[in-house]
Structure 1
Amino acid sequence: MLKIFICLFVVSEVFSSNFTCFNGGSIDASKICDGLGNCSDLSDERAELCASIICKADEFKCYYGACINRENFCNNISDCIDGSDEFNCGKSNTSCDPGEFRCSSSNHCIDSSLICNQIRDCPAGEDEAQICQPQSCHDKTFHCGYGRCIDRESVCDNFNDCINGDDESDLLCKTLSCFNADCTFPTCPPIKSTRLNVKCFHKNIQVDCDKNIQPETEAKYSCREFYQPESEFHMFNDKAICQQDGRWSTEILKCEPKCGYLKESIPLIVHGFSTEITFPWHATLFIKRGNEFMFACGATLITELVVLSAAHCFAHVNESEVKIAIGARHSNFTESLNKDSAKYFDAQRIIRHPLYLDVLGNYGSDIALVELNETVTLNYEIHPACIDWELDDITSHLTRNQLGTIVGMGVTENDTNSEVIRMTLLPIVANEDCIKLQPRDFQKFVTFTTFCAGWGNGTSLCNGDSGGGLMFLSRDLKTWKVQGIVSLSPRRQSTFFCDPYKFTVFTKVGLYVKWIKFILNNIHNTHTEPLEVVEYEPIL
């Protein structure tokens, strides 16, 4: 909630007569963010306070957000606290040319097009720091491509008010000076998202949002039911205006599915048992064997288009041979079709982790994503599990004796697949204990990318449970996060079945969140149709 607090803080300070410095002093409120540092501790010139201020057309905006008289730009005196008014005054030891960005930590220059591109081009990363804080620009401002807002009167006045010169681009200025019928105006990209409720209005007339959009069109939007804003920045982001340069005045609202909530509480029962509790993220994989689809593995829904599973579940299998059922309670495909209120999908694409090498690589990186052929309609009965993106809970969850919850329809004590979905709770086992108690030829599968769980007393996971997600309740006890994927367990001697008195090895989901996000960003695109997935770099 920090950003929300800051916004309210700015408003209250700007409209009060006095400003209280952090060290207890007091100054006139009109003197905050004027580049002078009127508080002895400089708390009146903080970036958090100044970044959102819109400077007047005759003012220069310091990199951190303060406004100074434009006549003081490049006067050989640092009128901004950070000295940024002297950064673009021609190439020298302390200055760069217009169109460049000065890295203050190293005194070298980079092209201004490189700022806020999520790549640190300055050694200290200042090209990706405070200047990149996104803003929601109102209708009398212009939105610079890297996120800042400037007064619309400052556009095309032969002065770079945007650090990267967006406000002085040839295309924009030609567009604004063109008044005849032959003019070609840039358009804003369409808004295509199954996660948004959106309406577009051009001069008070409703127009299509899913086609190229004319300048001065206003888009009003909100997240659909069962979705929520992706970040705090988007909490109050409800509209955007198409600018004359073909860019939206603010980043279009990004929504994500609400995840990981259950209607029922889970009882603490150790041994596997059939359950009537609905786990809305659990998915079942059926794979075609001959002319029939047979139960094969479990999986976890993580967005409305993607399930997470184990890579080994798809050995020698192509997309046309896979069916994904969400909400299935029976392991027999025909019985599930007739009895379950499940939703069934085809596999559009199976995406194995690029470092997965099957048995040749000791089943390391045993993780895969499956893109569904159509979007899942989310509701209380079907919605995704949460991913621990920031790894807030992974340490506490994967600590010895912590209990994880898992459901599946794998092989039971009778050496046959369970006819119905079953649930159990499994404790985490320290890797050193797991290695010590596993058969010697199985110890190589316990690595830094995996962890172990189980009781070692006959209650275990088995064939067919592979790919299922081991779930843990978040620290705030509100949502369930998937921390593990069922990968391997030792076999009983002279059989193909698991040994329920040994521990199960899980793939550690937290080590692969960067890769998962990389794939999801290619599949889900808020503004346009889903992108073609590019070659995946081998990142964890």
Structure 2
Amino acid sequence: MGTQGRRRKTDHDRWKPMLARAATATALLTGWTVYLVLASVVPARAESKLELASTFRNESDVPCPSGTFRCSEGKCIPQTSICNYQKDCEKGEDELNNCPPPECEQGQISCGQYVFNKTYCIPPHYKCDMTVDCVDGTDESDCTYRKCQPEDIHCGAPTTGLLSPVGRAANICVPKEKKCDGYLDCRTGVDEDGCPGTACRLDQFRCANGQRCIDTALKCNHKNDCGDSSDE
């Protein structure tokens, strides 16, 4: 082999690992599996039998391991992540496959239909309050609404809830006796505006000191949760 031939072989050997690293880097950066055959790095005697070719395979074509679920974006998640009331797939299909509704906390009532990421458990005072909270409207079905009296407190339209049936939200009223009683009878809280002490939700217990609200489940639990023992 002449000097020129040896130089060509030396150059060829020098570039070979660099080309291999470049192909690997391309695969890592693009997130695709790349099978690349480079005619320039094979011996000259085989060049006539090889052609430059590449095959790309998307990650979604790779089977997920046993006991996992494939999301539409190709991600594999454990089967235990399905119907766990948390969105693990980008489009949330792990929570949209006929999942059972969650268990409501003590004292809450459930809506008639469960839809992921929509209200399902509500406090009892949300029932028949002229504001639809359930996606199926069952919290406002079979209701008899109180007619406002001249001396009533007008609550105004609430900022929460899906909608109000036939536009009656602005006509929500509570008796005047509810003013400053320590409880949020209006969802807007206007019945407790300017009142002393802390206003509690209707599903809470208001301590006698007027400064603390506790869950009703904590009442009579042999612990001084209020600080003044009024819960015991």
Measured against the shorter chain, the TM-score band is 0.3 to 0.5
Give the structure, 1 or 2, with the largest relative contact order (CA under 8 Å, sep 6 or more).
1
- Normalised by the length of structure 2, the TM-score is 0.34
TM-score normalised by structure 1 residue count: 0.17
Q: Who wins on radius of gyration, i.e. which is larger?
A: 2
Question: Higher strand proportion, which one?
Answer: 1
Between Structure 1 and Structure 2, the one with more helix by share is 2
